């Protein structure tokens, strides 16, 4: 006849099992809240013929795709119009050549660098590519803001 289980051990097992169960159920509930499939629109879009963008800041796709397309003498890059502070959409001010965020007053240069306000990082640049047809394709899911890297392909396209 085996030794009957001790009261102390029984309680340890009992409480342990309960804690495991509650912990597991909580973890499962949290995991349940993380969706596996998203129905968000694609982050990639065709911005039309690259050559047709004039030198300077273009707000052509600003309202529809939330990007500014900026053409310099050498080529094109695209800034994602999402403030790096808390995600508001800044506005372009041509007379002061800067982007200003309406939420907490961050200002950015046309390079995307912070020139005023609380934003901690430069604006993100999107991946850009001039495809065979000459169209500019912009991917907002691939982003970069480090000087040096952001000025080269695939975040900068020569036109």
Partner 1 sequence: MSDTPAPTPSPAPAPAPKPAAAPQFSVDTLIKEATNGQIWKSMFRNWPWQDTARHRARHIVDNVWLHLHPTKVRPRALETTFTWGLGGLSFLLYLLLTITGVLLMFYYRPTVELAYQDMKDLQFAVSFGIFLRNNHRWCAHAMVTIVILHMVRVFLTGSYKKPREFNWGVGVILLTLTLFLSFTGYLLPWDQLAIWAVTVGTNMAAATPFLGNEGPFANLLGMKINNDVRFVLLGGTTVGANTLLRFYVMHCVLVPLVTGALIMLHFWRVRKDTFSAAPRQPDEEKVDVWPHLVVREYIAAAICVAFVWFVSVAFDAPLEELANPNVTPNPSKAPWYFLGLQELLVYFDPWIAGVLIPGLIIKGLCAIPYLDTNPKGVGYYTWKERPFANAIFMFGIVMWFVLIYIGTYCRGPNYFWYWPWESWLIHKPAPPPTWSFPLWLGVLSIAGYAGLGMALPKLIKGEIDWKKANWGFGVFFLVLAAAMKIGGDIEAWRIIVVGALLWMTFLFGFLYPQRYLKDIDFMRYQIAQSLNLMMMAVLLKMGLRLGLDVKYVLELPQFNLNI
CB-CB contact of 124 with 80 (8 Å): yes
Query: Is residue 64 a contact residue for partner 1 (CB under 8 A)?
Result: yes
- The residue from 72, 75, 100, 111 that contacts partner 1 (CB under 8 A) is 100
Residue 125 binds partner 1 (CB under 8 A): no
Question: Given candidates 23, 49, 56, 102, which one binds partner 1 under the rule CB under 8 A?
Answer: 102
Do 155 and 77 form a contact (C-beta atoms < 8 A)? yes
**148: contact with partner 1 by CB under 8 A:** no
Stretch touching partner 1 by CB under 8 A, among 3-11, 18-26, 48-56, 57-65 = 57-65
End-to-end CA distance of the chain: 88
Sign of CA dihedral 4, 9, 15, 19: negative
Contact status: 60 vs partner 1 (CB under 8 A): no
Closer CB to partner 1, residue 88 or residue 130? 88
Q: Are 110 and 97 in contact (CB under 8 A)?
A: yes
* Binder among 35, 54, 148, 158 for partner 1 (CB under 8 A): 35
Distance of CA 146 to the CA centre of its chain: 14
Q: What is the residue whose two structure tokens read 């502070």?
A: 85
Q: Which helix (H) or strand (E) holds 29?
A: helix 7-33
Question: Smallest distance from the beta carbon of 64 to partner 1, in angstroms?
Answer: 7
Q: C-alpha dihedral over 135, 58, 56, 124, to 10 degrees?
A: -90
Q: If binding is defined by CB under 8 A, does position 122 make contact with partner 1?
A: no
Q: What is the C-alpha to C-alpha distance for residues 136 and 128, in angstroms, rounded to an integer? A: 7
Which is closer to partner 1, CB of 62 or CB of 151? 62
Rounded to a whole number of angstroms, the minimum distance from the CB of residue 127 to partner 1 is: 16
Q: Which residues bind partner 1 (CB under 8 A)?
A: 30, 33-35, 38-40, 62-66, 81, 85-91, 96, 98, 100-105, 107, 115-118, 120
């Amino acid at each position: 006849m085996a030794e009957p289980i001790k009261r102390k051990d029984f309680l340890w097992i009992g409480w342990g099992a309960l804690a495991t169960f509650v912990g597991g159920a909580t973890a499962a509930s949290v995991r349940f809240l993380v969706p596996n499939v998203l129905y968000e629109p694609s982050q990639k879009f065709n911005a039309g013929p690259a050559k047709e963008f004039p030198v300077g800041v273009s707000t052509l796709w600003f309202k529809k795709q939330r990007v500014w397309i900026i053409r310099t003498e050498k080529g094109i890059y695209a800034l994602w119009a999402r403030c790096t502070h808390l995600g508001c959409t800044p506005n372009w001010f041509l007379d002061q050549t800067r982007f200003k965020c309406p939420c907490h007053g961050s200002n950015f240069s046309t390079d995307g660098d912070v020139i005023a306000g609380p934003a901690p990082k430069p604006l993100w640049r999107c991946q850009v590519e001039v495809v065979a047809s000459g169209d500019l394709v912009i991917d907002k899911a691939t982003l970069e803001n480090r000087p040096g890297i952001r000025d080269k392909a695939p975040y900068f396209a020569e036109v």
